[in-house]
Each structure stands twice: as C-alpha cells, then as structure tokens.
C-alpha cells in the first residue's frame, strides 16, 4: 500500500511542477494562449486534488507509524496545492489588473523571479523523481532478468528430474524382469532337485528289494 502512495506522490510531483511552470507563463501571456493555460491549470488542479484524495484513502487504511508519517506528507502536499491555487488566482488577476491599471514593473519582476525560483525547485524535484523512476524501472528489468534465469534453471532441473525418473522406471523394469528370470531359475532348480531326490528314493527302494530277495532266496 505504501508503494501505491509513493506512485501517487510521484504523479503529484510531476503534476505540480507542470502547474508551477504554467502559472509563471500565465502572468506574461495574453489572449487565447492565456485562456488555454488557465483551462489546463484548472484541470490539473482538479487532478492534483483527486490524487490527494486517493492518497488520503490509502493512508486511512494503514496503521501504526506509517500512517502518521504518510498523513503528514499528504497534509504537506495539500498545503502546497493550496499555495499553488492561490498563486494561480493571483496570476490570473495580476495580468488583468496590469492591463487596466498598469501595475508597478518591479512588483511584476519580483513575482516572476519568485515563480522562476519555485519552478527551478520543482524542476529539480521532477528530475529527482524521474531518476528514481528510472532506477526503479532498471531494478524491475534486473529482477525480471533474474526471474527469467531462475525459471530457465528450474526448467532445466525439471527436465533433468524427468530424465532421471525415466531411467529409474527403466531400471525398475529391468530389475523386475531379472527378478522373474531368477525366480524361474530357482523354481526349475528346485524341480530338478526334487526329481533327483525321487529317483534316488526309487533306486534305494529297488536296492532294498533286491537285497531282501537275495537273502530270502539263500535262506
């Protein structure tokens, strides 16, 4: 959620920097260009207010020190937007009053210098925000590259495991055939031993009969 608030703050910083730049131009242009700038700033001020409302909604869903810290930042942004709105109204009035009543040139110059200073400050902030966005994008690309490599490694490991599993199945099948073959050989060996035992028994019995009848005939 804090990341979402950070994204809102980045959008807000870019938006207020553009508003500041346009306010400084409103005081020095006329006609349709001025009307176009005024319409743009009106729309952008509304967008900035909507961003602040979104930030406030996100902050309300938080708890602990993070909520207090972000709430202070949102209040600071709202105070900044209020100041920009006042400058915007002043810029709209200053040009009209200057055309009708002829405002003092040094006063206009001081306003322009102050606006330029704020514009430079906001430009620096936008530049820092841009660098942060670029760094974040680079980190995302690096993370994506690492993730792709991890997925590739996992895919290779999966293929290795599948090949090993296939070899294990083949080994099990060979062991099964060998076991059946060995069981058959043992069974045949037992059959042969039984047959030999029976033959030996028959021979012993026959010998006993021969000996018996031999002694009987002598007696």
172 vs 45: which has the higher pLDDT: 45
- Classified as helix, coil or strand, 29 is coil
What confidence category does residue 137 fall into, taking pLDDT thresholds of 50, 70 and 90? low
pLDDT single digits (tens) 104-125: 444 344 445 666 666 666 666 6
CA atoms within 13 A on the CB side of 125: 17
For 162-194, what is each residue's pLDDT tens digit?
888 888 888 888 888 888 888 888 988 888 889
| Residue pLDDT, tens place only, 55-85 | 888 888 777 777 777 888 888 888 988 998 8
Among 141, 12, 150, 142, smallest CA distance to 70 is for 12
For each of the domains in the chain, give its residue range(s) and CATH number, in order of start.
Answer: 2-103 (1.20.58.400)
Q: Are 22 and 58 in contact (CB under 8 A)?
A: no
Query: Angle CA(34)–CA(39)–CA(42) in degrees, nearest 5?
Result: 125
**Confidence grade of residue 127 (pLDDT, cut at 50, 70, 90):** low
pLDDT of residue 97: 47
Measured CA to CA, the distance from residue 155 to residue 122 in angstroms comes to 48
């Amino acid at each position: 959620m804090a990341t979402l608030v950070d994204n809102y703050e980045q959008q807000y910083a870019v938006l207020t920097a553009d508003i500041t730049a346009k306010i400084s131009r409103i005081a020095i242009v006329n006609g349709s260009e001025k009307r176009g700038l005024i319409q743009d700033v009106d729309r952008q001020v509304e967008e900035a207010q909507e961003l602040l409302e979104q930030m406030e909604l996100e902050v309300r869903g938080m708890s602990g020190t993070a909520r207090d810290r972000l709430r202070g930042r949102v209040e600071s942004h709202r105070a900044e937007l209020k100041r920009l709105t006042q400058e915007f109204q002043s810029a709209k009035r200053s040009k009209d009053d200057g055309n009708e009543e002829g405002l003092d040139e040094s006063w206009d110059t001081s306003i322009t210098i102050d606006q330029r200073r704020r514009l430079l400050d906001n430009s620096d902030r936008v530049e820092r925000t841009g660098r942060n966005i670029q760094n974040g994008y680079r980190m995302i690309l690096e993370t994506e590259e690492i993730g792709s490599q991890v997925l590739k490694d996992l895919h290779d490991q999966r293929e290795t495991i599948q090949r090993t599993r296939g070899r294990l199945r083949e080994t099990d099948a060979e062991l099964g055939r060998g076991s059946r073959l060995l069981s058959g050989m043992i069974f045949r060996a037992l059959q042969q031993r039984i047959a030999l035992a029976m033959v030996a028994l028959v021979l012993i019995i026959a010998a006993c009969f021969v000996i018996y009848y031999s002694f009987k005939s002598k007696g």
